[in-house]
Amino acid sequence: MAQDEFSIIRQYFHDVGPECADVRLGIGDDAAVIAVPDGMQLAVSIDTLISGVHFPPDTAAADVAAKALAVNLSDLAAMAATPSWFLLSISLPGFDADWLQQFSDGLRRSAERYDVQLIGGDTCRGQLSITVQIAGLVPADGYVSRAGASVGDLVLVSGQLGNAGLGLAHLQGSLELPEELASRCVRALNRPQPRLDLVDFLRNFASAAIDISDGLQGDLGHILEASGCGARIEQGALPVDPWIEQHDLYRYALASGDDYQICCTLAPRHRGEVENWNSQYPERSLTIIGEVVDSGFLLRVGDEWIDLGNHGGFRHFE
């Protein structure tokens, strides 16, 4: 590289995100040191984005940075944890000052927006790949896992499903979308919005939660597997763009990746809380799509029940 990694770190990765009081030692030593406040627990997660696998190689550097952080923030949102710090391991094919500046600017904007501080990482040369490890706080044993769903619970999702999948299909030329929808869907693909605005709801009411990174079918499937139960959901209840409904392309809502919405389950006694939440926060609204049952994973389409068990969701090694 035209510059050594220390000057890259200094120039592009110092002072990213607001300084957090619990950080005793940040970038520059062999490890960062963090104080965990009394009564809190750390939730930690890591995700890698590889060029050509997780994003098209020509994706703008600022989008790549925002997405690398967003997918990790999304994992903490699904645990009902509040993100605080992150580490960044980046592998770069070479020194490209413009690319790095845009990456750094995008990272800085997202870190500030979501109030997370970059406290360390690793920088090396190789195929473009970005790994973010995130850590956040949750009140002791206040986290929400995938394993807490019970028979009779309601199944909910946030936002709209399938838009990122439509965006990718549009970029790959396999779908032609109307212009306005195309730009909205490409934006959903490149700039997922981690649903940290749902953390309070999840902490107070959810029995189980997951972020939808690989499609509802696969990800709700993970809740059911971890919780040892089944579900029945309604295709007609899925929150989708009207275009998906008109063209009967629900497979994008069920089995395409990168939505980063939240799927959660809720004891039926909390049903009223969904209505309260939706009227209080219409822009964060949650949609009831079905219920948890003893076993089996079925989708109702009109009068038919379709078996969703054992397939769906992107798998790297298939």
CB of 22 to Mg ion, least distance (A): 22
CB of 314 to ligand ADP, least distance (A): 27
User: What type of residue is 31?
Assistant: A
| Interface with ligand ADP (CB under 6 A) | 9, 13, 27-30, 88, 90, 118, 120-123
Site for Mg ion in 102-131 (CB under 5 A): 122
| DSSP secondary structure of 25-88 | E-BTBSS-EEPPPTTEEEEEEEEEEEBTTTB-TTS-HHHHHHHHHHHHHHHHHHTT-EEEEEEE
Residue 260 tokens, joined: 């980063």
Residue 93 tokens, joined: 């094919």
**135 binds, options ligand ADP, Mg ion, none, Cβ within 5 to 8 A by partner type:** none
CB of 6 to ligand ADP, least distance (A): 7
Site residue total, Mg ion (CB under 5 A): 1
| DSSP secondary structure of 53-65 | TTB-TTS-HHHHH
CB of 27 to ligand ADP, least distance (A): 5
Q: Are 294 and 194 in contact (CB under 8 A)?
A: no
**285 binds, options ligand ADP, Mg ion, none, Cβ within 5 to 8 A by partner type:** none
CB nearest Mg ion: which residue? Answer: 122
Our CB check for ligand ADP shows the closer of 70 and 161 to be 70
Our CB check for Mg ion shows the closer of 15 and 122 to be 122
Our CB check for Mg ion shows the closer of 34 and 189 to be 34
Q: Could you tell me which of 196, 189, 195 has the C-alpha nearest to residue 162?
A: 189
Our CB check for ligand ADP shows the closer of 29 and 179 to be 29
User: What type of residue is 65?
Assistant: A
Our CB check for ligand ADP shows the closer of 122 and 294 to be 122
Neighbours of 52 (CB within 10 A): 11
Residues lying near Mg ion in the complex (CB under 5 A) are found at 122
